[in-house]
Structures are given as C-alpha cells and as structure tokens.
Amino acid sequence: MKGATPPAAPPREACASCDVYRAANLKKLGVNLDQWDYVVALAGNPNVGKSTVFNALTGLRQHTGNWPGKTVTRSEGGFEFGGRRYKLVDLPGTYSLLSTSPDEEIARNFVLFGQPDVTVIVVDATRLERNLNLTLQVLEITDRVVVCLNLLDEAHRHGITVDERQLARDLGVPVVPTAARYSRGLPELLQAIADVASGKVRCRPRRLEHEPAPLRAALGELVERLRAIYPDLPSPRWVAMRLLAGDERIREALRAGELETLRPAASPREPAESPLAPVS
C-alpha cells in the first residue's frame, strides 16, 4: 500500500485509549454533510444490524427491521470523529458479491467502483462462517477493511464465543466486537475506522493463496495483462477471476473505463460525486 497520509493531530495517548474521550469525540452529523475527508461503506449479510450501526454513528433514524432485505437502496449520512469528517454509506445486505440481484449489485458496485476509504463489514457473530464468505470476497477487492463483529449479545445468549484476536490474525484486518443495539463497542469501532482511514493501521488481508489448480495458468496470464494496463488496480486477481467467470458487469465496467477511476489507496478524497454508476 502506498501514499498513506499521517494521522490527523493524534490525541494524547492516555486520552485516546479512553472510551469517554472517544465517545465525546463523535459528532453525529445526520445528513448535514457537504464535505468529507473519508468515505466509509457499511457492507454485510442481510439482517446483521448494518442499519443499526448506521443510525448509531450518524444519529439518523433509518428504519430498521428484523428481516433480511429491509435496506434495498444505499443511504448516506455523516459523522465527525477526531476532527475528521466521514461520509457513511449504508449498503443493502448481501450474501455474496457474485450474484446479480439489483440490491446485491448496488453493494458490489459501491465497494468496487465507489472506492470507499474504509469498508466496514458487519458480521453476525452467531453465524460467523456464513458471514465470512462475504468478508473474504470483499477482502479480495479491497484491503481497507474493518470487520465489525456484531450481535455479540445474541452470541452470548447462545453460548457462542468468538476469539476476535484469532479472527483478526486470520483475516489480516482489525476486528471489533460490538453489540450495536446496545451501543456497545462503537467507540472502538470508530477508532478502528479512523485508524484504517488515516493509514495508521495497515491491513494485510488474507487473500486466497491457493487458487483452484485448473485456473492457475489462465489467472496468471490475465493478471499479468491487467497489471500492465492498470498498474494501480488494487485487486487484479479478483477482476481476472470475474472475467474468467464471464461477469458481464465487469466487462462493461472495463469498456466504460470505470476502472480508470480506481485511485491509489489512502489519498484523502476531495468532495466529489462518487463514480458509482447508477443502477437501474
């Protein structure tokens, strides 16, 4: 990763590690956001509490509901934390980035072409394995990820414990345990977002090292071609895989030059329309 900017005026160490300080440091901006330093996307499986996290951070009151598929459009809000302004984008829940229903495509396109500075993947601690499927797919696309291990209260109720340190080691990105319904763990989540956004924490995400053997040669050739054309592309292997799978949307994106907009990671963004193509 290159071009990381130094973190903004770091608070005194003793303060920075204190919940009270951090919580007081959060300013919920609702929808009143015309300039921002970082764009943060909220992704995750359906019904894991993305909108609850969104509401808690922005102070907005997006309708939340206990059923998968409640959010079908992306909604945006803002918050200020540690002197930086963040635009938070709540994406529709999706089990995978590989399928094609309109709501899943909104999520995928934003992560891929919207190039958020940080993608927060909210995962359900009680169904970790299934949630990791999406997490691993997102990690293929971008390495600027924070995993929000949510619904810990429910996991606790079912006697399930998750070793978040082990998980963070295995995934190579920060993992923050939360119970967003009860606002637990949100200060730590904010800190992790800030650290990844500013480049203070560098993610070394787990990529599937062992590609399926029959594909190895083909992938290798395509990745080389992609690297030659797009030296800055953060995830040539993923794009190559999608091309091999015959993904029409990726072909369109290449033809329309959408990959041109992929910028080097970690440069603070000027306020601008995100290059996300509208989805009909």
Rule CB under 8 A: which of 121-150 touch another protein?
126, 128-130, 132-133, 135-137
CB of residue 21 to another protein, shortest distance in Å: 27
- C-beta of 82 vs 234, nearer to another protein: 234
Query: Which has the closest alpha carbon to 196: 271, 120, 250?
Result: 120
Residue 160 touches another protein, criterion: CB under 8 A? yes
> Under the criterion CB under 8 A, does residue 3 sit at the interface with another protein?
no
Spell out a b/e string for 116-136, using b for 16 or more CB atoms within 10 Å of the CB, else e: bbbbbbbbbbbeeeebbebbb
Q: Which of residues 38-97 bind another protein (CB under 8 A)?
A: 46-47, 61, 63-69, 72-73, 92, 96
- Binding another protein (rule: CB under 8 A), the pick from 245, 263, 267, 271 is 245
Q: Is 21 in the site for another protein (CB under 8 A)?
A: no
Provide the minimum distance between the beta carbon of 122 and another protein in the complex, in angstroms, as a whole number.
14
CB of 226 to another protein, least distance (A): 7
Please list, in sequence order, all residues whose beta carbon lies within 8 angstroms of the beta carbon of residue 214, skipping any fewer than 6 positions away: none
| Pairwise CA distance, residues 64 & 51, whole Å | 6
Separation of alpha carbons 132 and 172, rounded Å: 13
Q: Are 36 and 85 in contact (CB under 8 A)?
A: yes
- Binding status of residue 231 toward another protein by CB under 8 A: yes
Element housing 249 (H / E) = helix 248-255
> Per-residue string for binding with another protein, 173-212, x by CB under 8 A?
--------x------------------------x-x-xxx
Measured between its terminal Cα atoms, the distance across the chain in Å is 34
225 belongs to the binding site for another protein (CB under 8 A): yes
Distance CA 56, CA 69 (A): 20
Site string for another protein, 246-265 (x = CB under 8 A): x----x--xx-x--x-----
